[in-house]
Amino acid sequence: MPGRLAGRVVDLGGQWVAPDHTRLISLAREFGVEAYPQYVDGNNIYDLGGQRGTYKLNDTDLPATSLKAVQETVNKLTALATSAFTVTGDLGRHAAGLDGGTLESWLLANVFDRVAYSYFRLMVRATHSAETYETSLLAFVSLFAGENHFEHMTSVRGGAQDSVFDGGVWQLADRMAKELGTAVILGSPVRHILQDDQGVTVRSDQGDWRGRYVVVTAPPTMANRIQVTPPLSSQRDACAQRSPLGNVIKVHLAYSRPFWRDQGLSGQVLSDQTDFGPWFDHSPRKGGSGALVGFYNGATAHKWADRDPIERRMQCLQDVAKYFGTAALSPTDYIEEVWGRSAFHRGGYGTVSGPGVITTFHDALREPVGRIHWAGTETDADYSGYIEGAIRSGENAAAALRKLV
C-alpha cells in the first residue's frame, strides 16, 4: 500500500526483498521495477540490556561475553531444531514437547546474559512484530532447522532487508491489477461464502459471485471473520482462532538531508530503550534529502495504536533524537500506517503461532475445506510472512485448482 512522503511515494507495508525472493524479483523484472541495495554505510547503533555501542553491517558487535552467549543460544536452538524436525522438515519426535512452551519461558531458563536475552527479545519483536511470550518455542526453533532462517531474517546484506524497490513494491500489485482490468474488484469486502455440491457463492458488498471453487487469501484470523455456510471444519476454525496477527505501526520520516550520515551513522538503530524502532535509512536515491523508516512493533504497537497521533509522532521523534540528536525533531514530513486499526488487516506483519498450534493444527492452515482453498503468505512453507510467500502461495493454489478443473 502506497503513501506520500515529501512528494515521494513510499511503501506503508512491505518494502524489502532478499536475494532468494526469486518470484518477487522476477515479477519486478517483468514490470520493470528496479531493486537497489538498502543503504548500509557507517555504524549501526545498538542499545540493549543496558549496553550501548555501534557495529557495522551484519556483524553483531556486542560485548564479547554477550556475543558468546548469543552464539551459544543459537547453537542450543539449532540442536533443538535437529530434534524437533526431520531432515525433510517434517515434525520430529520432540516437536510436541517444544510446542508446549513459549520462547520467552525458554529464554528465561536458558539465557543468563542480559544483553543476549534482550537481543533475542528485540529481534523477535522486529522480525515478527510480536513478543517472545506470544510465539511457541517450536515456531521459533523452526527458524534454525536446515538453513539458518533466523540469520536471514535479521540480516541486511544477503538477508531479508537486502534491497528495496525504486518507487516501492506496491507498484507490482498496482500493475498486475491494471493488467487484469475489470476482473479485479476493490472495495467490496466478502461477507459470506456458501458452498454446495456444484460450487460456491461468494457474497460481497457489491454483489454475489458464483464459481466452482474459491481461494481465500486473507490471513486466517481475517478469513475467519467471513461467515461460511455450511460451517467450516472444527480443525480449520480452531486453527484460525489460534492464529493471531502481530501488530505494527510503520512510520516514514523525511528530512532535508540525511544528517546522521555526517556522524558516521548508517541510520540503523536497534534499541530496547525506546518504544519506536528499529529504524533504517530510507533516503531517496537522488536529490540529497534524507528519510528514515521504522516501526512500533508487537507490544509497543498495541500500546500506541489507539493513542493520539500527535503523541505517537512526538514519541517517535524523541526516540530518534535520543540517538541522532535534536535535528531529528524537525522532519520535513511524517507519515504512518497503524495496521492494527486497518479494518481488513487488523495487524501485521503476519500470523504468529502460539503454543500447541503447529503440532495440533498445522495441516488445517492449508487443507481445503470442500471447495474453499486457502492461499496467502501463511500457507507457504518456506517464505511465510513475506511477500515472496504470498506470491508462491498464489501459484500453489492455482496449480492445485488446475488439477481439479
Ligand X SMILES: Cc1cc2nc3c(=O)[nH]c(=O)nc-3n(C[C@H](O)[C@H](O)[C@H](O)COP(=O)(O)OP(=O)(O)OC[C@H]3O[C@@H](n4cnc5c(N)ncnc54)[C@H](O)[C@@H]3O)c2cc1C
From residue 14 to residue 53, the character string flagging contacts with ligand X as x (rule: CB under 6 A) and all else as - is xxx-------------------------------------
Q: Quick one: which segment of 56-64, 79-87, 216-224, 280-288 binds ligand X (CB under 6 A)?
A: 216-224
Q: Quick one: which segment of 12-20, 92-100, 177-185, 327-335 binds ligand X (CB under 6 A)?
A: 12-20
Find the shortest distance in angstroms from Cβ 375 to ligand X.
Answer: 7
Whole-angstrom distance, CA of residue 72 vs CA of residue 6 = 45
Q: With binding defined as CB under 6 A, does residue 226 bind ligand X?
A: yes
Strand partners, 9: 4
Q: Which residues contact 323 (CB under 8 A, 6 or more apart)?
A: 45, 47, 265, 269, 271
Do 219 and 348 form a contact (C-beta atoms < 8 A)?
no
Angle at 225 between CA 224 and CA 229, to 5 degrees: 75
Do 172 and 27 form a contact (C-beta atoms < 8 A)?
yes
Find the shortest distance in angstroms from Cβ 129 to ligand X.
Answer: 7
Q: Quick one: which segment of 25-33, 45-53, 107-115, 385-393 binds ligand X (CB under 6 A)?
A: 385-393
Name the pairing type of β-strands 43-48 and 265-271: parallel
Find the shortest distance in angstroms from Cβ 390 to ligand X.
Answer: 3
Which residue's entry shows cell 457489491?
206
Q: Quick one: which segment of 26-34, 37-45, 100-108, 218-226 binds ligand X (CB under 6 A)?
A: 218-226
Write out the binding residues for ligand X, residues 249-308 only, by CB under 6 A.
250
Do 154 and 280 form a contact (C-beta atoms < 8 A)?
no
Q: Quick one: which segment of 49-57, 150-158, 302-310, 383-391 binds ligand X (CB under 6 A)?
A: 383-391
**Cα–Cα nearest to 115, from 169, 173, 56, 55:** 55
Find the shortest distance in angstroms from Cβ 250 to ligand X.
Answer: 4
User: In this complex, which beta carbon is closest to ligand X, that of residue 274 or of residue 359?
Assistant: 274
* Of 95, 107, 145, 218, the one binding ligand X by CB under 6 A: 218
* Of 222, 291, 364, 372, the one binding ligand X by CB under 6 A: 222
The DSSP element (H or E) to which 388 belongs, if any, is helix 387-404
Angle at 307 between CA 333 and CA 1, to 5 degrees: 50
User: In this complex, which beta carbon is closest to ligand X, that of residue 22 or of residue 110?
Assistant: 22
Find the shortest distance in angstroms from Cβ 380 to ligand X.
Answer: 8
| CA 23 vs CA 30, 385, 389, 392, 395: distances in Å | 10, 15, 9, 7, 10
Q: Quick one: which segment of 144-152, 252-260, 315-323, 387-395 binds ligand X (CB under 6 A)?
A: 387-395
User: In this complex, which beta carbon is closest to ligand X, that of residue 37 or of residue 189?
Assistant: 189
* Of 217, 221, 235, 332, the one binding ligand X by CB under 6 A: 217
Name the pairing type of β-strands 2-5 and 207-211: unpaired
By CB under 6 A, the count of residues binding ligand X is 26
Find the shortest distance in angstroms from Cβ 206 to ligand X.
Answer: 11
Amino acid in the structure at residue 154: T
* Of 7, 189, 199, 309, the one binding ligand X by CB under 6 A: 189
User: In this complex, which beta carbon is closest to ligand X, that of residue 80 or of residue 248?
Assistant: 248
Whole-angstrom distance, CA of residue 233 vs CA of residue 219 = 17
User: In this complex, which beta carbon is closest to ligand X, that of residue 13 or of residue 49?
Assistant: 13
Q: What is the DSSP string of 145-205?
A: SSS-HHHHHH-STTSTTSEEETT-THHHHHHHHHHHGGG---S--EEEEEE-SS-EEEEET
Exposed, middle or buried: residue 31 (CB in 10 Å: 0-12, 13-18, 19+)?
middle
Do 192 and 227 form a contact (C-beta atoms < 8 A)?
yes
Find the shortest distance in angstroms from Cβ 372 to ligand X.
Answer: 13
Write out the binding residues for ligand X, residues 362-381 only, by CB under 6 A.
376-377
Residues that bind ligand X (CB under 6 A): 13-16, 189-190, 217-219, 222, 226, 248, 250, 339, 344-345, 348-350, 376-377, 385-388, 390
